[in-house]
Structure 1
Amino acid sequence: MLDDDRAELPTREAVLGQAVPFDPERWRKLLPDSGWWPGELDECPREGLWPRVDRRTVFGIAQRAESLEGRRHLLVAALVWGSGTKARSVKRRGRIFERECVAKVDKKLGDALKTLHEKGSSAAYFGFNNNDHQRIAYLGPAFFTKVLYFAGHDSRTDLRPLILDSVVSRTLRQAKAVDGTWPGYGWTTPQYTRYLEVVHEYAERRGVLPDQVEAALFARGKEKGRQKGQ
């Protein structure tokens, strides 16, 4: 797709409206205390059995990330949006709060977001991925890039952070614009930086925001996975 300047891209409104169902009660049981739960999630519209949270809501929560409570809410909202209702996925995300004490999660999250705003997306990725002082157990790239994305989308000093997960990577593996064989997981900082560069260059050519390209990569990767039964 990154080689095709005529590929269909979602509108910005469609990106902001990308919504995921979630089970509030399942999540509440996993959090250290009720103060970690963002009130906005209780106001999400219900469709069928579950309420649904969209990107716009998580962006709103991210506006409070300068405070301790705001960072906690951002982390939880990003995890909820990225997990859906699958019990296995939710339980795995909950291990973050079992493995690390609250004080360590708070400090590491604060340090990582400070790095994002002071040094940029690549440095923040390195911190979450390689720096023992910032790496949070059970918060891997597929999810910490969601945190970085929502926290740093309005950054004007560096490449805006974008989500990188296995679904997006399915599409990247087919893209000639990405150097070499693209891995399905375990992306290094140089690989994440290259991903940002390629997507930002393509977005500039198309006159859109980078996350519109990321959303298109995700949609195509999801379709490829569906075709393969994944």
Structure 2
Amino acid sequence: MARTARTDTTVLALPDICRRWLGTDAADRSRAVHKQAIAVDLRWWNTALSESGAPGDPLQIDNAQSGQVLLTRRQVFTAAADLSTSEAVWRLLWLSMAWGTGSRRRLVHRRMRTVAADPHRYVEVLAEAADCSRTDPGTAYALLYPDNRTRIPFLGPAFFTKFLYFAGAGNPAHPSLILDSRVATALHRAGWTSLRSGGRWPADTYQSYTALLARWATEQSASTSRTITSDVLERWLFDHGK
């Protein structure tokens, strides 16, 4: 079978349907990004963290440590305001994972047991990746996916890119973005035909992805009356990658 030619993402155009959506109130960043909420069972998460011996304090959202709560992107951003301690790094990892999994918690126990076995080793690379995520998405990604292999077993790109994204604490100019199968599927439909939807993306692909959305955001900001951010585009791609 012939190998698919690598798509030149530097000339890939934003889909017209997305361009039209950007002109609506639904594309306001506060609505599309900050308020996107996922139902999270805090009792389940805190029980799992405790039973697995995973590092970090119990998760708390709006003073609650149990029950069903809605976790928004804005709340996860708040957890990344200061990542100077190991406890803060673990809190961000678990919150970003809780937000990313919702009720589909496949492999979560394995991830918890993995980091519980060597927390000092893994928190160092997570902290370094979080720091790099603010200036160099490709390097941050490569730290967690060296030689196209997961640095932390069972924590693949679809989930660690959420950690890299939320490490920006909501900064609209933060360059690292979420890349999962739904985003990849939407990009494939938009013309990035060489992009696999099933994961295992190398670091240079992630770098191309973040550069593409940054370019689209810059172009659309110049042609509309509002500032368009890369994560607003990521949200649209996610919604259209079903």
Alignment of 1:98-109 (within 5 A): 98-100=113-115, 101=117, 102-109=119-126
C-alpha distance in structure 1 between counterparts of 2:150 and 2:240, whole Å: 32
- In structure 2, distance between residues paired with 1:85 and 1:122: 30
Q: Equivalent pairs: percent with the same residue?
A: 29
Q: Distance in 2 between matches of 1:122 and 1:94?
A: 28
TM-score, structure 2 normalization: 0.78
Distance apart, 1:97 and its partner CA: 2.0
Per-residue deviation at 1:35? 4.2
Where does residue 40 of structure 1 map in the other structure? Answer: 61
Matched, 1:145 2:161: yes
1:2 to 7, 14, 19: 14
Classify the secondary structure of the residue corresponding to 2:19. Answer: coil
Alpha-carbon distance change, 194 to 218 in structure 1, aligned in 2, over 3 angstroms: same
RMSD: 2.7
**Structure with max Cα Rg:** 2
Cα distance change on mapping 1:34 and 1:143 into 2, 3 Å: closer
Query: TM-score, normalised to structure 1's length?
Result: 0.82
Paired residue total: 211
Q: Quick one: structure 1 residues 112 and 181, their matched pair in 2 at CA, closer, same or farther if it must change by over 3 Å? A: same
Deviations 1:146-204 (A, max 9, x none): 01101135386xx700000001111011122x3x4210111111111111111111111
After superposing on structure 2, the runs of 4+ consecutive aligned residues of structure 1 that deviate more than 6 Å are: 131-134
Per residue, is there more helix in 1 or in 2?
Answer: 1
Map Cα deviations across residues 30-75 of structure 1 (whole Å, 9 max, x no partner).
213684333336449x9xx831100000000111222211111101
- Could you tell me which runs of 5 or more consecutive residues in structure 1 were left unpaired when the two chains were aligned: 226-230
Is the CA contact (8 Å cut-off) linking 1:37 and 1:76 kept in structure 2?
A: no
